Amino acid sequence: MSADLPVWDALKFGYLPTDVVYGVEGDAEADPPWAEGGVAAEHELRLPVAAAALSYGTGIIEGLKAERSADGRVLLFRLADHAARFFRSAERMLLLPFPEERFVAAVKQLVRANARFIPPAGHGTFYVRPLEFAIEPMLGLRQGRRFMVTLYGCPVGDLGHGAVGALKVLDIPRSSKGGTAEAKAIVNYGGVLLHRERARREGFDDVLFTGAGAVQETTGTNVFCRLHSGELVTPRLDGRFLGGITRDSVLHLARAEGLEVDERELRVQEILDHGQELFCTGTATGVRNVARLVHKDREKTFTQGELGETLGQRLSAIRAGSVPDPFGWTDEVSL
C-alpha cells in the first residue's frame, strides 16, 4: 500500500496519489495497434523530451466519476458515453482512437484496483482522469504514430458549494467553427486560463465565452438559462464548444419532468432581458446555479436554487444509486 487515505470529511477537488495508475501504449502501424496495458504503482511518466504532445499539444482528456452507493455498490456514471467521447476526441486530434471497450475495461480496472480510495457514500466521489497523447519524438509538426493512454483517479469532494458567484461575459469565442472545442483536447485549456485569472482578479468566478453575442460555455462547464416564460434553453451543439455529458443528462431529466426545453442559439442579450435562472453543468461541478452575470456595463442577478437545484439533486441521486436509474446511466463495478 503506497499512498495514505485522505480524511473523507475534508476532501476537496484536487489531485491525490492513489495505489495504481493505468497505462497502455499504442502504435498505429502495429497489429494489434494497442498493447495489453495494465495498472502499476508508478505515478510518474518517462517521456522523450521531444515527445510530440509536449511540443504540439497532441493530447486529449476525459473526466468521469465513480461513486459508492448507500447500499455499498460502486457505480460509474455514463461510462460508455465517456468512452465514445474519448474516441471522438482522438479522431479530431489525429491520435490513435482507443477502442471504447478497452476504455470501459481500463476504467473498471483502475477503479477496482484503487477501491480503498473510493469515498464512503455521501462523502465524495472517485474522479477518473483518462489521458491520451502522442509520445514519439517529433521535431516538425506531423501526424504521430505512437501514443500512450494513461488513466489516473483520485477521491474528490465537490468543486464548490452553493452557487457559482458571478460570471463575466467575454466577447471572445471558445472556438470558432473548425476549432478544437468540441473535442476534449488539452489545447483548449491552457489558453483560457489567462481570461479566467484576469476575471478572478476582478472578483468573478469564471468567464462565459460567446461568439457574436451567442453563449457558448465557461472554462469548464456548459450553461442553461430558464427564461421568465418558463422555457429552459441551452446552446445548441454547433462544434464551437464541448458537448457535456452532464448537459445531456440535464436535458434528459428536464424533458422527463415535462419541461419546455430548447437547444438553440442563446443570446447574452436574451439572458439579460428575460433570464430568471442560470446554471452551469459539468462532471466536476455538477449542476450549480449562477448568482450574477455581468456583460460590460449590464448586470443581472438570478433566482437561486429552483430548477437548477432540483435537477442537480435528481442527477446526484441517480449517480449515487439512491433512486432508480431509468436511463441506464450507471454501471456497477464488481470489486
Ligand X SMILES: Cc1ncc(COP(=O)(O)O)c(C=O)c1O
68 - beta bridge partners? 74
The three cell numbers locating residue 261: 426545453
In DSSP notation, 76-118 reads EESHHHHHHHHHHHHHHTT--PPPHHHHHHHHHHHHHHTGGGS
* Secondary structure class of 128 (helix, strand, coil): strand
The rounded Cα 215 to chain-centroid distance in angstroms is 18
Assess whether 108 carries a catalytic annotation. no
**Region of 113-121, 200-208, 227-235, 237-245 interacting with ligand X (CB under 6 A):** 237-245
Nearer of residues 210 and 281 to ligand X, judged by Cβ: 281
The phi-psi region of residue 124 (left if phi > 0; otherwise alpha if psi is between -120 and 50; otherwise beta) is left
CB of 75 to ligand X, least distance (A): 17
**What number of chain residues touch ligand X (CB under 6 A)?**
13
User: Residues 11-50: x/- map of binding to ligand X (CB under 6 A)?
Assistant: ----------------------------------------
Q: How many beta carbons lie within 10 A of that of residue 138, not counting itself?
A: 21
Handedness of CA 312, 130, 113, 101 (dihedral sign): positive
Residue with Cβ nearer ligand X (89 or 222): 222
Residue 86 beta carbon to ligand X: minimum distance, rounded to whole angstroms: 11
Which 8-state DSSP code applies to residue 216? -
CB closer to ligand X out of 125 and 222: 222
In the bound state with ligand X, the residue whose beta carbon lies nearer, of 21 and 245, is: 245
| Candidate list 65, 108, 168, 184, residue with the active-site label | 184
Q: Site residues for ligand X, window 197-236 (CB under 6 A)?
A: 217, 220-222
Taking the complex as a whole, the smallest distance from the CB of residue 2 to ligand X amounts, in Å, to 28
Closest CB to ligand X belongs to which residue?
A: 244
Beta carbons of 251 and 261 less than 8 angstroms apart: yes
Q: Does 63 bind ligand X (CB under 6 A)?
A: yes
Residues 239-298 within binding reach of ligand X (CB under 6 A): 242, 244-247, 281-283
Give the separation between CA 288 and CA 142, rounded to whole angstroms.
Answer: 41
Shortest reach from residue 245's CB to ligand X, in Å: 4
CA 103/CA 98 separation, integer angstroms: 7
Binding site for ligand X (CB under 6 A): 63, 217, 220-222, 242, 244-247, 281-283
Residues annotated as catalytic (active site), given as ranges: 184
